[in-house]
Amino acid sequence: MRTICFYFQVHQPLRIKPYRFFDIGDDHYYWDDYSNKSIMRKVAQKCYLPMNALLLDLINHYNGAFKVSFSISGVCLDQFEAYAPDVLESFKKLVATGHVELLSETDGHALCALKSKDEFTRMVKTHKEKIKKHFDGYEPRVFRNTELIYSDSIGATVAEMGYEGILTEGAKHILGWKSPNYVYQNSIKPELKVLLKNFQLSDDIAFRFSNKTWADYPLTTDKFVRWINNIPKEEETLNLFMDYETFGEHQWADSGIFEFMRALPNAVFNGSDFGFSTPSEVLKGAKMISTIHVPTPISWADEERDLTAWLGNDLQDEAFGKLYELEEKVKQIDDAEIQRDWVYLQTSDHFYYMCTKFFSDGDIHAYFSPYDSPYDAFINYMNVLSDFILRVDKRIKEKNAK
């Protein structure tokens, strides 16, 4: 039987409060607690709680034949603890069914894989410990990096950490004529299996579902099943990867997105030769067809599927560079608040808000940003970073003076 692998990214950043130049050296708390709590509770009511309840119903109704997987960022887990313990409990109920897989990632939903192998491996270990703590000793075996960022060398590092597989984007410029509907292997560490997102069918749900100007609107389960039946029979794995906030937040409830998901398993079981599997089950059951070569990092963001959503313009590069200049100093400091802020300041969203792209991708960036412009995002972040640098330097001086 061919299989559908659903993967959902669950992430909410800790947003920085308005932080003025005159706050530098005086105010050392950077986080907008009111906004973070308000947004978390809003998304919980619109997405997390109703969608978790729906998935639990489907898993129970189909006796485990319906399965999904999640990666939940560490910064999101921290906010569940603080603002939405009911959401955390609902995820625990899903995992307890035995038919939901949790994936590893970086604790801070960070871009550290692009800059520091040490920081990357440290953050992955921290995230792994958080998953263990919250989910009764659960140990993920499959990895997905922040925003599905992947390259041959990142994959090799992930393999060294003992993971069986990794998820990434089925980018056209990497695949060429190949299909994303197979299992591939890393070019440096061939024991690491690579699952690729089918971005066409994933984005039909995640981005186009409620778009009334889309030629295929409205998307029904019957139509979707017809499409997957058109996939060549030898292509055994359909990877549908998307933000979990697709359900109820990006695609509102009145679009019919919840009804679509509730009806999809029945349509698949009765109208196709597909079933559902978790990433680990896919990796166990499917054979690798070939090596995939990704010398330059890819991601699942924007039209280019590269890193330009977060890095590449002068604002992003200056902020990113200044932040990671602090790594060696921060390692020497035994201070819980500095270590916390170090992790949260690495969250990729801060750099995403500084993106200066225009046209369609620019619209998407503006939708997610709490700032009026990328320049406001940069100024606010750099003010905070300036204060953080002062704190770090002060602690290093105190340490050296002992």
Give the residue numbers marked as catalytic.
147
How far apart CA 4 and CA 240 sit, in angstroms, is 7
Q: Are 8 and 68 in contact (CB under 8 A)?
A: yes
Give the sign of the dihedral formed by CA 279, CA 283, CA 288, CA 291.
positive
How far apart CA 32 and CA 308 sit, in angstroms, is 26
Joined together, the tokens standing for residue 365 give 């960036």
Q: Which among 273, 55, 110, 303 is positioned nearest to 203, based on CA atoms?
A: 303
Q: Which among 274, 260, 248, 269 is positioned nearest to 218, based on CA atoms?
A: 260
Q: How far is CA 397 from CA 23, 143, 189, 329, 394, in A?
A: 22, 38, 42, 10, 5
SS3 143: strand
Q: Are 36 and 79 in contact (CB under 8 A)?
A: yes
How far apart CA 142 and CA 192 sit, in angstroms, is 10
How far apart CA 269 and CA 296 sit, in angstroms, is 39
* Residue 186 phi, psi (nearest 5): -65, 145
Joined together, the tokens standing for residue 317 give 């590069």
The total number of residues shown for the chain amounts to 402
Q: End-to-end CA distance of the chain, in Å?
A: 66
Q: Which among 119, 166, 131, 174 is positioned nearest to 145, based on CA atoms?
A: 166
Number of helices (H) and strands (E) in the chain: give both, helices first: 17, 10
Local structure of residue 347 (DSSP, 8 states): B
Local structure of residue 217 (DSSP, 8 states): P
Joined together, the tokens standing for residue 200 give 């066409």
